[in-house]
Amino acid sequence: MKSLDNNLDPKLLSSLVDKTISDYDDGELFIEKMISEHFSYDNNKLKTASFDTEQGFGLRVINGDKTGFSHSTDLNVDSIKNSIRAVKSVKSGKNIFLALPQQTNKKLYSDSNPIELKEFRSKVSLLEKINAYARKLDNNVSQVSITLAGNYQKVQIFKINGQIYTDSRPLVRLNVSVTVKNKNKIETGSYGFGGRDMYSLIFKNDSWKNAVNTAYKQALIRLEAKAAPAGEQTVVLGCGWPGILLHEAVGHGLEGDFNRKKTSAFHNLVNSKVASEQITIVDDGTLLKKRGSLSIDDEGTPTQNTVLIENGILKNFMQDRLNARLMGKTPTGNGRRESFSSIPMPRMTNTYMINGNYHPDELIKSTKKGVYATQFSGGQVDITSGKFVFSASEAYEIKNGKIGKPLKGATLIGNGPEILKKVSMVANNMQIDNGIGTCGKDGQRVPVGVGQPSLKIDNLTVGGTV
């Protein structure tokens, strides 16, 4: 096996890792090479086009809950030896070492580099074509903004006993924003999609045209929207991307580190009822080509489908190796890091609620008065209390069992653990989002997937303008 830098001998690296980490409870040498590009097209012209290559390593040793970590962009033996001296400032441990991850040959995505498979000119031509198509939709289209991004990450993880884990990870994404001006009103709609795939996913006419049409339609809807009413209301969430609410309000609270430190509202509730019996939530890093999927996590552990909440009962937390060892649990393949310069921690992959038994129409028909929210633009959550605030970018009123006029300014306010208990109906139309999610935690950002079927929540606070 070759190293990511041909000047480095894998046998020598394995020997150095063995000598360094064998006295500790855990650790690894993480080597990464990242190739990325980003295009932005605005005001009928290409605004930016960037191409970057970055490589480096991170060396970590662990004693109990103490971590020694050093990283560098100088990918050479001398730099690695300097890092070995640095991390050994942490005293060696009791050698309570978890079993090494099993090697896996599962392939969830191609190991090809998407950036190399399309010429620069073809990418610019696609942006021009998208812009022209969007502007021909309506004379009132005043602005079109497009971004195209791709990256290719190659990692090698050296652990003790000569074990080396490798992965090659493609990722592509397209975002389109369309602004429409009508008299004195201006509104913008947006749509994005992507995944661990090649650019061929994006270059398909049906795919990028759907992105433009959806963004344009959303802008038109927002032009017609009236102010959202405030107060306690029944809320029906759409399928797919609205799962971001569960990701933030519930998902982070089910990550192992928050629960080991007892800062999560869920830390002492394992095997307790925390949600409606209709609710089952999983974190699944094994979905084919999805944005949050990984063949192995950033510690070499194969990802898996972890049941977090089953029929309303809290079953498991998401674990990296450190927190799993300290909590007496098994790693779940959720040890993730933003880059070689970051320490891995428990992070979500693709987190979603599985299907219920109701047809989506039943949720609307059973609601006399409420709000139907289908898209969200952002939000925030307090992990300790579970309190959250989310802004709906596309929402509608529900009157007498029917979807009514679009609403603007709707904000959903609630408590993660409490909202799960107020879910009265779960539909059978589960979807994973289109591949646009990026999750932040402790300053690190990683790609994730979210999803859910439509669901009905009783008595949720809606912040509005009337």
Q: Per-residue pLDDT for the chain (466 aa), expressed as one digit of tens each?
A: 666 766 789 999 999 999 999 989 999 999 999 999 999 999 999 999 999 999 999 999 999 999 999 999 999 999 999 999 999 999 887 777 789 999 998 999 999 999 999 999 999 999 999 999 999 999 999 999 999 999 999 999 999 999 999 999 999 999 999 999 998 899 999 999 999 999 999 999 999 999 999 999 999 999 999 999 999 999 999 999 999 888 988 899 999 999 999 999 899 999 999 999 999 999 999 999 999 999 999 999 999 999 999 999 999 999 999 999 999 999 999 999 999 999 999 999 999 999 999 999 999 999 999 999 999 887 777 877 778 888 999 999 999 999 999 999 999 999 888 888 999 999 999 999 999 999 999 999 999 999 999 999 998 999 866 5
| Residue 278: per-residue pLDDT | 96
Instruction: Name 32's bridge partners.
Output: 56, 155
**What per-residue confidence (pLDDT) applies to 407?**
95
What backbone torsions phi and psi does residue 251 show, to the nearest 5 degrees? Answer: -60, -50
Q: What are phi and psi of 280, to 5 degrees?
A: -130, 125
Please tell me whether residue 365 adopts helix, strand or coil conformation: helix
* Torsional class of 220: left (φ above 0), alpha (ψ -120 to 50), beta (otherwise): alpha
Residue 29, amino acid? L
Q: Which two tokens stand for residue 221?
A: 């809807």
Supply the pLDDT for residue 248. Answer: 83
Q: Identify the pLDDT of residue 1.
A: 65
Place of tokens 């990683």: 446
- Residues forming CATH 3.30.2290.10 domain(s) in the chain: 10-224
Residue 273 Cα to chain centre, angstroms: 26
pLDDT at 465: 65
β-pair partners for 208: none
Closest to 421 measured CA to CA, from 342, 313, 347: 313
CA distance 373 to 454: 10
Tokens of 217: 């339609």
Asked whether the beta carbons of 248 and 293 are under 8 A apart, the reply is: no
* Token pair of 277 as six digits: 């019996």
Instruction: Provide the pLDDT for residue 417.
Output: 83
Query: What is the C-alpha separation between 402 and 227, in angstroms, rounded?
Result: 18
Secondary element (H or E) of residue 418: helix 416-421
| Cβ contacts of 81 within 8 Å, gap of 6 or more | 16
Element (H, E) at 148: strand 141-158
Q: What is the structure's pLDDT at 235?
A: 97
pLDDT value of position 2 = 67
Query: Which CATH architecture describes the domain 10-224?
Result: 2-Layer Sandwich (3.30)
Token pair belonging to 172: 């592509």
- Long-range contact set of residues 128-134: C-beta below 8 Å, sequence gap at least 24: 128/41, 129/208, 130/41, 130/176, 130/208, 130/211, 130/212, 131/41, 131/44, 133/209, 133/212, 134/176, 134/178, 134/212, 134/215, 134/216
Residues for the chain: how many in total?
A: 466
Q: What are the structure tokens assigned to 3, written together?
A: 């190293």
